[in-house]
Amino acid sequence: MQITRRNLILSTAAAAVSGLALPRRAWAQTTVQIGDFEVMTLSDGTLTLPADFIFGPMDQAALAPILAEAGVERSAPLTPPCNVTLLRKGDATILIDTGAGFAFQDSAGQLLDALDAAGIAPDDITHVLFTHGHPDHLWGVLDDFDEATFFNAEHIMGDIEYDYWMDPATINSIGEARASFAAGAARRLETLGDQVTRIADGAEVISGLRAQWTPGHTPGHLCFALGDGADQLMIIGDVVTNDHVGFARPDWITGSDQDEALGASTRARLMDQCASDDITIIGYHLPNGGIGKVTRAGDGYRFEAA
């Protein structure tokens, strides 16, 4: 498996013409070759989250040494990266998740600029796959004219996840803090209409790329697996949302999971699978492009960035 990483710099024509020394924006691009797939991660920016969003329901005394070892300040806001995965195989150019778009947080929604810097246009995308329907993964499907951003693409979501966000009861059951998530997801999926294909657990999207149901973070959260033998990769979405507590204690509940107990059991099971089978992972909110390995460390695991 070959891994390369580089920074892409985008400068504007307007700045060149006017002579203004405007700041240039850079996006980290990490590329892995897995069998016939070229796998690229591109940054959609970062989020800003209150620490309690993750750490609130945890045993605070047991949490403290884990955060101290990781150099994480318990009271400081969290600023996780957002890593969008792009796959190329033959004529297929596949996005897994679409970033936050323009309507969520100002620090996110940079995917289109990152794609442009990599020489990829929206109409090059043939498939869009969703791990789940949270804003930082779904809201980038529509542009600021409320039209499909990736207008040539087939959009693919797990059937359980699709039904959940399209259920009118969800907005009343999801909790006040996430009610806007439900409204935003339903509106975007309604706008996409018949561009959305629903798939079940285990579905093969294209040859060599299959879906794996990993519920808890949301009811129908999917991971996507490719490769075989000694050359396997799993795009794990938000099963793990940080590179410290999520690995050291995957069986602990976290406030970012909608079903905290189910999320913890799913996370522990997936960490065991990836460590046992030596599967490379891409995590949406993990550092250094999100690509690395899960290794055992004492009673838990450790993320080793590629």
- For the four alpha carbons of 35, 301, 277 and 211, in that order, the dihedral sign comes to negative
Task: Reduce the DSSP state of residue 231 to 3 states and report it.
Answer: strand
Asked whether residue 264 is assigned to any structural domain, the reply reads: yes
Tokens 């997801």 sit on residue: 185
What is the number of structural domains in the chain?
Answer: 1
List per-block mean pLDDT (blocks of 10 residues) for the chain, which spans 306 residues.
56 36 51 90 96 97 97 96 96 98 95 94 98 98 96 97 98 96 98 97 96 98 89 97 98 98 98 97 96 96 95
Which runs of E-coded beta strand occur in the chain?
3-10, 25-34, 37-46, 81-89, 92-96, 127-129, 154-158, 196-199, 204-206, 209-213, 222-228, 231-237, 280-283, 291-297, 300-305
The Cα-based distances of 26 to 8, 130, 207, 278 in angstroms read 5, 25, 33, 32
Q: Which residues contact 152 (CB under 8 A, 6 or more apart)?
A: 122, 123, 124, 125, 126
Asked whether residue 48 is assigned to any structural domain, the reply reads: yes
Task: Reduce the DSSP state of residue 122 to 3 states and report it.
Answer: helix
Closest by Cα among 228, 229, 232, 224 to 283: 224
Q: How many CB atoms lie within 10 A of CB 51?
A: 16
What does the block give as tokens for 86? 């792009």
Asked whether residue 187 is assigned to any structural domain, the reply reads: yes
Asked whether residue 10 is assigned to any structural domain, the reply reads: no
Asked whether residue 6 is assigned to any structural domain, the reply reads: no
Asked whether residue 132 is assigned to any structural domain, the reply reads: yes
Cα–Cα distance measured from residue 291 to residue 21, given in angstroms and rounded to the nearest whole number? 34
Residue 217 domain boundaries: 26-305
> For residue 213, what is the domain's CATH number?
3.60.15.10
Asked whether residue 21 is assigned to any structural domain, the reply reads: no
**For residue 27, what pLDDT is reported?**
56
**For residue 13, what pLDDT is reported?**
35
pTM summary value = 0.91
What does the block give as tokens for 250? 């995957």
Cβ atoms of 136 and 48 within 8 Å: the answer is no
Asked whether residue 16 is assigned to any structural domain, the reply reads: no
